[in-house]
Amino acid sequence: MGNIFAVTNQKGGVGKTTTTVNLAASLAANGKKVLLIDLDPQGNATTGCGVDKETLKVSSYDVIMTQAKAIDAIVKPEDLSFSVMPTNADLTAAEVQLLDVKLREHRLRLALESTREKYDYILIDCPPSLNMLTVNALVAAKGVIIPIQCEYYALEGLSSLLKTIERVKQRANPALEVTGLIRTMFDARNNLANQVSRQLIQHFTDKVFHSIIPRNVRLAEAPSHGMPVIDYDRASRGSIAYMALASEFMRKQNKSN
């Protein structure tokens, strides 16, 4: 049965969607069956996978609002090696609508029960805020992957996220754990980045992935072409970094299972 991971950070611009798309592609390149769920109303993961969010008939909004089954919302773009549950701006309405429904935190988990066995890994791209959509992802997930940019405010925002994860664990999902923190958009020439990196390792030790995602032009360009960087430029530093991350991630999962 597929393990579900929420990729989240309440701070925007840290490489959350980039990580979700490229980790999904890198895991698929290793022969794994992967589903990416776009749970961010901006729909950047959807377009980054080459799916037109403006023409969707069924999306993650319909699934989380129980208007459609998960399998009906999943697409398999012919150029991709993994499946996608896309979304669009309709999902914005769900943030409010979920406040007044039963089992509101459990909608996504229940919707995925009949589908998860088809995949090895399910990655959820969460919105950059701690709202009901993010809570749904955390309740559905086994683990949390946290992309983090090594800058001044990084640790401050992280503490709020960890408190939310702990609350969800206590109230709704006792199995939830932090899988790991990924240092993204890293520039080794930046003294502050190196300082924050050391602080992360000091505080979180083995929870920090050894693999580091560098700043990389090809990585930044790939979404505009609707493809993961591994398909856009396999030899780029960004592609190599995400392949290394996928290998490390799989080793971690093999140890924990």
- Could you tell me which residue, 129 or 182, shows the higher pLDDT? 182
At 214-251, the pLDDT tens digits run 999 999 999 999 999 999 999 999 999 999 999 999 99
pLDDT value at position 8?
96
- What is the spatial distance between Cα 246 and Cα 90, in angstroms, rounded to a whole number? 31
- The mean of the pLDDT values for the chain is 94
Q: Where are the domains of the chain?
A: 3-256
The CA-atom distances, in angstroms, between 102 and each of 65, 82, 105, 177, 239 are 11, 32, 8, 25, 42
Q: How much of the chain, in percent, has pLDDT values that exceed 90?
A: 85
Instruction: Using only the alpha carbons of the chain, give its radius of gyration.
Output: 17
pLDDT value at position 210?
97
Task: Identify whether the C-beta of residue 24 lies closer than 8 Å to the C-beta of residue 34.
Answer: yes
Residue 148, SS3?
A: strand
pTM for the whole thing? 0.96
Per-residue confidence at 1, pLDDT binned at 50, 70, 90?
low
At 110-119, the pLDDT tens digits run 999 999 999 9
**Joined tokens for residue 161:** 């996220």
At 50-84, the pLDDT tens digits run 999 999 999 999 999 999 999 999 999 988 999 99
Residue 35 has pLDDT above 90, yes or no: yes
CATH superfamily entry for domain 3-256: P-loop containing nucleotide triphosphate hydrolases (3.40.50.300)
Task: Identify whether the C-beta of residue 193 lies closer than 8 Å to the C-beta of residue 160.
Answer: no
